[in-house]
Structure 1
Amino acid sequence: MPDTAFDPQTSAAVLTMARQGRRPRPLDLPAGLRPQNAAQAYAVQDAVVRERGEVAGWKVGAASPEALPARAALTRDSVWVAQAAHAAVHLPAAGFAVLGVEAELVYELGADLPPRETPYSPAEVRAALVSVRAAIEVCDTRFAAWARQDEWCRLADQACHGALVVGTGTADVAAVQPLAQGVDLWVNESVAVQHATWGNPAGDPLRLLAWLANEGAHSLGGLRAGQWVTTGSCTGTVLVAPGTRVVADFPGLGRAELVFD
């Protein structure tokens, strides 16, 4: 029997009002408004996203190569694309409750992948991609404390998304070998995290992209040309302070740079 008692709109309103500063940030959602499974968490997240604005991208990740992925839609007001090579994106630190940074690979969609009955093959998904670039995701929360909530409340809160900064990369998507790709995360001119090869626990990002096209994005209309899909942290989350300069460098591929003013 479907669960008719849970109200995702009311849960979403708590998160939206906290983000907008219209009410104090709660330590957690009220007990009766906490999602109890992934379906309820996504219902809340979708309501948050629809209130927030146009979908400009997605984040998708998984705990292991075999684990079920999870996603969050990213709205236009939280996605920033560098306008030139080695140009830093500047964001006001005061706009975030938490400044957690991660180096990630982001893929640009050049074609729509709308919901359909027949699953998209990995080759079809790959053919829809027109670039792969370095990125920095800023992790944040609409709650009063970081990581004190259960996994469903965090998923409802756009999976702790704060901002996405897209840097440079390549249009030769087929030439990129993610599992052999190194990454350096720099914080104020010092290397905070370094991996000689892929540091993302989810494994091949194409599996994540295919899941997103075939399942994860359906409730919000599927994937669309011009959207960005960031495929999970390659470095873990590093907490930084206001005034910090962060660089995600993927040697041989590209880099993204962010300054918290």
Structure 2
Amino acid sequence: MSDPAGSERVGLDAPGKARALYEARGTRVPIAPFTDADPSLGMAEGYAIQRELLPLLLADGDRVVGYKVGLTSTAMQRLVGVDSPDHGPVLASTVYRDGDALPLDRFIAPKVEAEIVFVMGERLLGPGVGPTDATGAVAGAAASMEIVDSRIADWRIKLADTVADLASNGAVAVSSRVVPLEGLDTRLIGMTLTRNGELIDTGAGAAALGDPLAVVAWLANVLGEHGVALEPGHLVMTGALHAAVPLAAGEVYRAEFDRLGPVSLRVTAGAAGSEGEVAA
């Protein structure tokens, strides 16, 4: 997948950089930022590398079950120096159920973000998609927590680094309760995040591009430029509603959303979790 950010440069060696990220995912040994060697790399170069990385992961038997959108808040866009979100695929191997154990040894430097996730009910293909179209194509919304992770050492990422690294995806825990959108104003969905029962942050749906449904429309239009559609059953992660929180073994996180209900994760040191997929 790509982004309307121009053409990547000649001599980028996107396949080589994708291979380095692929190996870092397998070994859990992070690599230096690509932007250390070339600070001028931008969004277009990042997507060029992402396009090379995804087939390597799919060749191992994984599959795309949706997409995540990041940088959906004004504060994060200002921090990174962009005026547009970024996106990456959600892979089947990274989807957890509510209450699952999340093994830290699957990640390098994971952090948790509470987000509203949509489950697609109908095919949605851009361009020309607006929030009303997105509303009609979505089956419902659910509570979720995204685990972001970086194959770039010490999270020293710039825009090209995170985009190349599948928008810093790690995993996602999704509630099995999918709430229809009728009578639901997703902008006003409030959220609380607790760690071991103690409140650590709050947020609301409007933090994601002003309306999480606008995130779905944006994503459909960007993917549609390359003939890629959001398909029935696809998950769409709409962006963090608060600052990312580092994880440690022994912690229990619970995100509770108005109207959507809760979703929780138990963080463990080893590979004790069970992975699953969410059905609409």
TM bracket (short chain): 0.7 to 0.9
Aligned counterpart in structure 1 of residue 219 of structure 2, from 212, 215, 218: 212
The 1:194–1:63 alpha-carbon spacing in structure 2 relative to 1, beyond 3 Å, is: closer
Deviations 1:150-204 (A, max 9, x none): 2211121122211011114443213221222211101111111124x44625311
What TM-score do you get using the length of structure 2 for normalisation?
A: 0.81
Unaligned runs of 5+ in 1: none
Cα deviation, residue 219, structure 1: 4.1
CA contact (8 A) 2:30 2:108 kept: no
Query: Aligned residue for 1:144?
Result: 153
Task: Please list, as runs of the form range in 1=range in 2, the aligned pairs for 1:187-202 lying within 5 A after superposition.
Answer: 187-195=195-203, 197-198=204-205, 200=207, 202=209
Alpha-carbon shift at residue 70 of structure 1 (Å): 1.5
Match of 1:243 among 230, 237, 250: 250
Cα distance in 1, alignment partners of residues 236 and 117 from structure 2 = 5
Q: In 1, Cα distance between the equivalents of 2:46 and 2:177? A: 33
Aligned residue number for residue 45 of structure 2: 40
SS at match of 1:5: coil
TM alignment of 1:150-165, pairs within 5 A: 150-165=158-173
Q: Could you tell me how far apart the structure 1 residues matched to 2:8 and 2:235 are?
A: 33
Is 1:98 aligned to residue 109 of structure 2?
yes
Distance verdict in 2 for CA 1:30–1:14, change over 3 Å: farther
Determine if the alignment matches structure 1 residue 26 to structure 2 residue 31. Answer: yes
Structure-2 residue corresponding to 1:59? 68
Supply the RMSD in Å over aligned alpha carbons: 2.5
User: Percent of counterpart pairs with the same letter?
Assistant: 27
Aligned-partner residue type, residue 90 of structure 1: A
Cα distance, 1:220 vs structure 2: 7.5
**Is 1:179 matched up with 2:187?**
yes
Q: 1:72 is matched with which residue? A: 88
Relative to 1, partners in 2 of residues 1:35 and 1:142: Cα closer, same or farther, differing over 3 Å?
A: farther
Give the secondary-structure state (helix, strand or coil) at the position aligned to 1:232.
coil
Secondary structure at the aligned position of 1:68 is classed as coil
Q: Residues 126-147 of structure 1: CA distance to partner in whole angstroms, max 9, x if unpaired?
A: 111001000000111112212x
The residue type paired with residue 105 of structure 2 is A
Tell me which amino acid in the other structure corresponds to 2:73.
A
Equivalent residue letter for 2:231? R
Go from structure 1 to structure 2 and tell me whether the alpha carbon gap of 1:34 and 1:224 turns closer, same or farther (over 3 Å shift).
farther
Q: 2:130 & 2:54 partners in 1: Cα distance?
A: 28
Contact 1:10 1:33 in 2 (8 A): no
Q: Go from structure 1 to structure 2 and tell me whether the alpha carbon gap of 1:170 and 1:75 turns closer, same or farther (over 3 Å shift).
A: closer
Equivalent residue in structure 2 for 1:135, among 144, 147, 156: 144
The one-letter code sitting in structure 1 at the alignment partner of 2:74 is: S
Residues of 2 paired with 1:129 and 1:245: CA distance? 30
Deviations 1:217-254 (A, max 9, x none): 65482211111001011121011211211111103322
Asked if the contact 1:11–1:34 (Cα under 8 Å) also holds between the matched residues in 2, the reply is: no
What letter is aligned with 2:9? D
Shift of 1:258: 0.8
Matched, 1:6 2:12: yes
Please give the per-residue CA displacement for 1:109-141, whole angstroms capped at 9, x wherever unaligned: 1122245xx522332221110010000001111
Distance 2:131 2:160 in 1: 28
Per the alignment, in what secondary structure is the counterpart of residue 175 of structure 2? strand
- TM-score normalised by length of structure 1: 0.86
- Alignment gaps of 5+ in structure 2: 1-6, 78-82, 269-280
Corresponding residue for residue 272 of structure 2: none
Structure 2 CA distance, aligned partners of 1:113 and 1:199?
Answer: 22
Give the structure 2 partner of residue 228 of structure 1. 235
Structure 2 partner of 1:122 = 131
* 1:168–1:254 Cα contact (<8 Å) kept: no
SS in 2 for 1:233: coil
Q: Aligned to 1:20, what secondary structure does the other structure show? A: helix
Q: Hey, what's the Cα distance between the residues in 2 that align with 1:182 and 1:50?
A: 37
